[in-house]
Amino acid sequence: MTDRGTSALVLGGGGITGIAWELGILHGLAEVGIDLTEADTVVGTSAGSVVGAQLGSGLSLADLYASQLEPPDAELGGRLSRIAALKLVPPYVLPGSGRDKLARVGRVARAAHAPGSIDREGVIRSRLPVHDWPDRDLRITAVDTESGEFTVFTRDSGVDLVSAVAASCAVPTVWPPVEIAGRTYMDGGMRSTANVDVAKGAERVVVLAPLPRSVSRKASIRSQMERVSPRAWSVITPDAEALAAFGRNLLDPAKRRVAAETGLRQSRDLADQVRGVWEA
């Protein structure tokens, strides 16, 4: 048997609609014999951290997909208002290193919400079928709000899975930073919407990126993929129909079902492309 090398599944951020779309893509591909959950490494950022944790729950992709079709009765939504979004622009455009910029974003995050002011961990806990780290290489990204340091949580970090996912999903000005061991953390997507470079070393990489644009060229998916330099790779982004289904508010639970359904539909068009990478 030919050694095809290690594989990585990278799950990017994209709000509630991103979670649903990613599960639709994964379920659709699995139905035609392409099981991306068999990846040696799973990298999750923001919405992708939720999906990554769900994949290690023992539930089938069919069940996870079905959960996205249910009415969002108890789902707590949010909205990144235009005014709040504008507050995130100056930290990135002012001079400084990438870490300096992220520290400035962190100040905006802390000023908007005190850590713990909203029970986000309770919401995240309700989204995860299990609350213990899976017995696999799951990497969850976040950013320290004070230092701007990029952080990758794993099962060896000594951090509760729910806390790690909540930190990765803590969108500045929408949700409060999450306190872990005396530090506060925010959304890993503030550094890059997918953080593809966390998969460095993998020979085959498939990226699901609900939000393909990043805050800088260095943080872009293409630039990071060049640094990972896998033998085979594919980046999957929402098509026009999926983007229309998401609407303007990616945090709207009412859009969850249609986002999942468009992911399932889109997977049919991607099967040959992804199979070529996964079986390379």
Angstrom distance (rounded) from CA 229 to CA 5: 13
> Do 47 and 124 meet the contact criterion of CB atoms below 8 Å apart?
no
Confidence of residue 90 (pLDDT cuts 50, 70, 90): confident
Would you state the pLDDT for residue 1? 36
Assess whether pLDDT exceeds 50 at residue 4: yes
The correct CATH number of 7-77+115-279 out of 1.10.3730.10, 3.40.1090.10, 3.90.1330.10, 3.40.630.30 is 3.40.1090.10
Catalytically annotated residue among 46, 49, 214, 234? 46
> Do 274 and 36 meet the contact criterion of CB atoms below 8 Å apart?
yes
Q: Report pTM.
A: 0.94
> Do 83 and 173 meet the contact criterion of CB atoms below 8 Å apart?
no
Confidence of residue 5 (pLDDT cuts 50, 70, 90): confident
Assess whether pLDDT exceeds 80 at residue 207: yes
Catalytically annotated residue among 7, 163, 187, 192? 187
Cα 58-211-276 angle, rounded to 5 deg: 65
- What backbone torsions phi and psi does residue 28 show, to the nearest 5 degrees? -65, -40
Angstrom distance (rounded) from CA 252 to CA 114: 23
Assess whether pLDDT exceeds 80 at residue 75: no
- What backbone torsions phi and psi does residue 66 show, to the nearest 5 degrees? -60, -35
Give residue limits of the domains in the chain.
7-77+115-279
- For the question of residue 46 being annotated catalytic, the response is yes
- For the question of residue 187 being annotated catalytic, the response is yes
Angstrom distance (rounded) from CA 29 to CA 270: 8
Would you state the pLDDT for residue 76? 57
